[in-house]
């Protein structure tokens, strides 16, 4: 199960208590996962989803809203294992009009591409609309998750530009900063930062998903710290090896040119120890010579200076 499926599974488990919020959610869901459907002179709509549980959730929301004029959904098979549900009866057109998806006047029925702002007047309805859009066409990927080859990414897909730009405005009113791109004829509204994605998931009630994101962030931070520590250790080790090679070469040059016996005892003992214990760290070498690390460093630098002057 990928992360998007987990989020949607969590969202449909939570009841929606107020009709205004159900209306906003259903309107957004139909705009993102539905198409206008007509047959035998009737106008309705068809929704398609990859989860039967989600289809059942939407049927229940529609039934709760329009129970006085029941909408009788008919499930039908769809391609790629997806579930399609057709709402087509005498009340279906009324549902579309009530949700602001179509307009009816003396000229007939016309699709309204703009969001019906009456459905998102309150903060709660705006949140429900965002939730409905995510259930309809939303997806979210996280580093290391299924389908993710990069970092954090959350998106909503719309089939037309006007609805996508209106949705960007809805997100902006909720203090998000979405981006909009065209991709293969669709319009994609997306967020890229972990903080914004986490805030949006918290807003629509996906609290388990937020906790998972937080845990992932802590784990990544710890891994990054460990990697930095290892890189630092490797860098220090490389520097130590380079210095050791330089010191050993200096001792060899002195020995070949003037002999180690020409050196003062303090320097000669260090030179001999350096060539004898080539792999020792400065601390290990200092302990063997019973001198401080600072004193050892000073004497080694002096040996290098002598070699450079030869």
**How do residues 210-237 score in pLDDT, each as one tens digit?**
888 877 766 566 666 667 766 776 766 7
What does R_g of the chain's alpha carbons equal in angstroms? 35
In this predicted structure, the answer to whether residue 280 has a pLDDT above a threshold of 60 is yes
- Local structure of 183: helix, strand or coil: strand
**Structural domain boundaries in the chain:** 3-214, 227-309
Task: Report domain 3-214's class.
Answer: alpha beta
For 141, residues 6+ apart whose C-beta sits below 8 A from its C-beta are: 2, 3, 4, 147, 148, 150, 152, 153, 154
**What is residue 152's three-state secondary structure?**
coil
pLDDT at 26 over 60: yes
Contact 196, 176 (CB under 8 A): yes
Find the distance separating the first CA and the last CA of the chain, reported in whole Å: 71
With cut-offs at 50, 70 and 90, classify the pLDDT of residue 45: confident
Better-scored residue on pLDDT, 173 or 74: 173
Better-scored residue on pLDDT, 150 or 295: 295
**In Å, how far from its chain's centre is CA 286?**
50
| Conformation bin of residue 185: beta by default, left when phi > 0, alpha when psi is -120 to 50 | left
Q: Say how many residues make up the chain.
A: 310
Mean pLDDT score of the chain = 84
Q: Say if residue 63's pLDDT is above 80.
A: yes
Q: In what order do the strands lie in the sheet with 139-141?
A: 139-141, 153-158, 186-191, 179-183
What confidence score (pLDDT) does residue 144 get? 66
Q: Residue 38 pLDDT > 50, yes or no?
A: yes
Each residue's pLDDT tens digit, 103-125: 887 777 888 899 999 999 999 99
Q: What pTM, to 2 d.p., does this model score?
A: 0.69
What's the pLDDT score for residue 70?
46
Q: Region 292-302: what's the mean pLDDT?
A: 86
SS3 content of the chain, % helix, strand, coil (to 5): 60, 15, 25
Neighbour count for residue 12 (Cβ, 10 Å): 18
In angstroms, the CA 259 to CA 274 distance is: 15
Name beta bridge partners: 148: none
* Share above pLDDT 70 across residues of the chain, in percent, rounded to a whole number: 86
> For 12, how many CA atoms within 13 A lie in the half-sphere containing its CB?
22
Contact 20, 61 (CB under 8 A): no
């Amino acid at each position: 199960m990928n992360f998007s499926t987990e989020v949607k599974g969590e969202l449909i488990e939570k009841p929606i208590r107020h009709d205004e919020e159900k209306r906003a959610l259903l309107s957004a869901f139909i705009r993102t996962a539905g198409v206008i459907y007509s047959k035998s002179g009737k106008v309705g709509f068809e929704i398609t989803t990859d989860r039967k549980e989600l289809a059942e959730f939407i049927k229940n929301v529609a039934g709760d809203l329009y129970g006085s004029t029941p909408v009788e959904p008919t499930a039908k098979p769809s391609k790629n294992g997806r579930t399609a549900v057709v709402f087509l009866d005498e009340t279906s057109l009324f549902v579309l009009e009530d949700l602001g998806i179509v307009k009816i006047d003396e000229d007939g029925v016309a699709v309204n591409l703009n969001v019906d702002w009456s459905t998102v007047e309150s903060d709660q309805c705006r949140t429900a609309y965002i939730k409905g859009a995510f259930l309809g066409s939303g997806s979210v990927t996280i580093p290391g998750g299924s389908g993710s080859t990069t970092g954090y990414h959350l998106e909503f897909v719309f089939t037309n530009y006007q609805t996508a730009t209106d949705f960007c405005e809805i997100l902006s009113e909720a203090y998000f900063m979405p981006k909009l791109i065209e991709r293969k004829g669709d319009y994609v509204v997306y967020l890229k930062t972990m903080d914004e994605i986490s805030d949006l998931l918290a807003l629509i009630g996906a609290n388990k998903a937020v906790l998972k994101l937080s845990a992932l962030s802590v784990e990544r931070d710890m891994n990054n710290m460990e990697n930095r520590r290892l890189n630092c250790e490797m860098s220090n080790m490389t520097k130590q090896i380079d210095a050791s090679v330089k010191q050993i070469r200096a001792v060899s040059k002195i020995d070949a040119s003037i002999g180690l016996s020409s050196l003062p005892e303090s320097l000669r003992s260090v030179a001999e120890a350096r060539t004898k214990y080539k792999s020792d760290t400065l601390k290990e070498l200092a302990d063997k010579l019973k001198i401080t690390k600072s004193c050892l460093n000073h004497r080694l630098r002096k040996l290098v200076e002598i070699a450079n002057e030869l």
